[in-house]
Amino acid sequence: MAGIKWTIEENKYLWELVNDGLTFIGVASRMKNRTYEAIRIQASKLKIKSNYDSSQRDEETRKKISASLQGINLDEWDGFKESMNALIRKSVAYKKWRKAVFERDDYTCQKCGKKNCYLNAHHIATFAENENKRLDIFNGITLCINCHKEEHFGSAIVWYRTVIYSTVL
């Protein structure tokens, strides 16, 4: 049923099923009028994550996926690769930068003033395009999750999610 608009009731039902622990495949089995792909796409638009646990994949499946993502055949596969971006974000230096930004901003969202909520250390000059500023404390600002999303996606996505969540919760 590609291209058919989702109703608020369908969005609520999708949210409820995922909150009940179903994977998108499980949701598709309950929502007969929607395909797995349509459910996956709609969930992505609503920023709903699947409950699928990829750690349950066997080693061979993980190798095949890794090779495919690397654009090579399985016989050419030479181990799991992690992007430089992921390696930097897991580094001790990055974690220190993040903590320093939070401490400087007193663990407070610098856009709306919220405290005691999930916070993000946002790069003012983008992480991807400004390698020399990645760990510069003056290139960081503390934002709550909503302000951070607004910073990246604009206010429309924050408003849409707020409307959907308020009707679901």
- pLDDT by residue (tens digit) across 17-31? 998 888 888 999 999
**pLDDT at 94 exceeding the cut of 60:** yes
Is position 62 within any domain? yes
d(Cα 100, Cα 88) in Å, to the nearest integer?
A: 16
Give residue-wise pLDDT tens across range 113-144: 999 899 999 999 888 888 899 999 999 999 99
96 and 135 fall within a common domain: yes
Shared domain for 100 and 73, answered yes or no, is no
> Max CA-CA distance within the chain?
53
Number of domains into which the chain is organized: 3
CA distance 40 to 11: 12
Domain extent, residue 66, equals: 54-81
- 91 and 137 in a single domain? The answer is yes
Same domain, 40 and 62: no
Instruction: Tell me the C-alpha distance between 59 and 28, whole Å.
Output: 27
For residue 95, the one-letter residue type is K
On whether residue 160 sits in a domain, the answer given is: no
